[in-house]
Amino acid sequence: MTFWITSSIVLFFIVVISAYGPLFGLYGEMIHKEKGDDHK
């Protein structure tokens, strides 16, 4: 039980960090250049 509780808590925080991380520049990209095809 302890294993599953711990892994569910850790997984929950991974989801929250993954969802909010880009807002704080943690990974990925948040701002999209709206014009120009050179953007990647």
Partner 1 sequence: MNIPWGNILVILVLGVIFIASSWFISRKVSTADEYISGNGKLGVAFGTTSLLAFWITGNTIMAAPEAAYGLGVIGAIAYSFLGGVAVVSFSPLGKRIHEIIPNGKTVGDFYKNRFDKKNYYFFMIMLFIYMFGLLMTQGIGGGLLLEQIFDVPYVLAVVLTFIIVIAYATMGGFSSITGIAFFQVMLIFVVVIVVPPLVYFSTGVAPIYTGMAQFAPEKLDLLLPAGILFMFAGAMFAIGEVFMDNTFWQRAYAVRKDKLMSIFGLAGIGWFFVPLATATLAFVAIGTNQAPAEVNQVAPFIAQIYGGNFVSWVFLVGVWSALASTIAAILNALVSLLIHDIYQSINPRADNAKLLRISKILTVVIGVLALLISLPKFLTMLQMLIFLGVINAAFVFPIIYGLFWKKLDATVSFIASILAIIVGYIVYYSVGDLQGVVASGWVSFLVCWIGSLVKPADFNWNKLYRVGQSQASEVERK
Q: How near is the Cβ of 1 to partner 1 at its closest, in Å?
A: 5
Neighbours of 23 (CB within 10 A): 9
Contact yes or no for 39/33 (Cβ under 8 A): yes
Cα(31)–Cα(38) distance, rounded to whole angstroms? 15
Residue 25 within binding range of partner 1, rule CB under 8 A: no
Q: How near is the Cβ of 3 to partner 1 at its closest, in Å?
A: 9
Residues that bind partner 1 (CB under 8 A): 1-2, 4-5, 7-9, 11-12, 14-16, 18-23, 27-32, 34, 37, 39-40
